[in-house]
Chain A
Amino acid sequence: MKHYIFVDEGGGHAALLAAAMWCGKLPCDRLPTEDELQSLFSRYYRPDPPGTMHVLMGEPHVVCWCGLGKSLEIVLRAWRNFLHLYERPQADVMFLPVPSLPLSHKEWATRHLYRMVKKNFQRLQTILLCFCEEG
């Protein structure tokens, strides 16, 4: 089973957004409404410490999101190395880094989030499109 792991350098907000767009829990072709965003975040977002993996969808592929803070590059490299250590095919897991939203922990539930999503939506769309093209 293929694993898609969305990661960002923050608390995981952007990773969750991109993962939700990827698996159809948010629209990809238009800006989501504030209600859609609030519902997504209240349902799926957990302010766990960085490095905590969250599964958004289990079938037919596993889609996860994870905020990695400043360790993003290091962790991605380590994940690849551990895949090799346990002789798992590298192609089984796709790591999808997305740029983080400049949010503090307190801001995620406020209107600030919507403003940030609006500002970054096109960027996320473009990145998702690139991921689709890469396979």
Chain B
Amino acid sequence: MKIIYHCYGAAHSSVIAAAIHLGRLPQERRPRLREILQLADYDQTETWTIGTLFFKGKDHFGHAVYTLGLGGEKETGLRAIQQFLQLLSVSTDDLFFHEALVHINILAKIGGALSRRYGWVKVGRPLSAFGIWLQYGRLVRFVQHVQELERQRIRLLSVDGRKE
């Protein structure tokens, strides 16, 4: 199974979601701002890397977790990727896309844009981290929902496996 968190540039929301998923950020408490800023991949991608798939690690089920930036037209990107894989007869049954961008607030988005798009890193990076910190609980609930879906899929696969 491949779990892909996607957002605009794979720099903020998807990175945090992947970090929560992989246990690099806590689920049971709100981390310090410093913990967010100290993530090696937080606020690091460049505009020219949008569309690149970043492998973040394997979760406790052994499933690969990725982040992906799809720019401003995510529907086009997702459709193009899925249809491309169908064209190549690649089974996409193990591929799961989850949008992380909708789970952060406007502060995080403004901070992210200031840092990545306009190069105001000193202002944008802490502002985006602060925005994420404010709504951290929402991101945790989102990741927990993804993990619950993951568990359901595992159960379904094992039931299907037994039937066969």
Residue of B nearest to A53 (CB): B83
A73 to B81, CA, bound (A): 13
Q: How far is the CA of A83 from the CA of B78 in the complex (A)?
A: 15
Which chain A residue has the least Cβ–Cβ distance from B2? A85
Q: Which residue of chain B lies nearest to A93 when distances are taken between CB atoms in the complex?
A: B88
Other than A51-B77, A84-B53, give 6 A-B pairs with Cβ distance below 8 A.
A5-B84, A52-B80, A71-B71, A78-B80, A79-B81, A79-B84
B159 contacts partner chain A, Cβ-Cβ < 8 Å: no
Contacts of B49-90 to chain A: CB distance below 8 A? 49-53, 68-73, 75-81, 83-88, 90
Task: Show the binding face of B for A, using Cβ within 8 Å.
Answer: 2, 49-53, 68-73, 75-81, 83-88, 90
Residues of chain B within 8 A (CB-CB) of A79 are: 80-81, 84
Cα A92 to Cα B86 with chains together (Å) = 15
Contacts of B88 in A (CB 8 A): 3, 83, 86, 88, 92-93
Q: Does A64 contact B (CB under 8 A)?
A: yes
Q: Are B85 and A74 in contact (CB under 8 A)?
A: no
A82 contacts B73, C-beta separation under 8 Å: no
Question: Are A50 and B70 interface neighbours, CB within 8 A?
Answer: no
Give me 6 A-to-B residue pairs in the complex whose CB atoms sit less than 8 angstroms apart, sorted by A's number. A51-B80, A68-B80, A74-B70, A77-B50, A82-B81, A88-B88
Q: Are B52 and A71 in contact (CB under 8 A)?
A: no
**Is A42's CB within 8 Å of the partner chain B?**
no
On whether the beta carbons of A86 and B85 are closer than 8 Å, the reply is yes
Q: Which of A78, A92, A93 contacts B68 (CB 8 A)?
A: A78
* CB of A46 within 8 Å of the partner chain: no
How distant is B41 from chain A, measured CB to nearest CB, in Å?
A: 16
What B residues does A71 contact at CB under 8 A? 70-71, 73, 76-77, 80
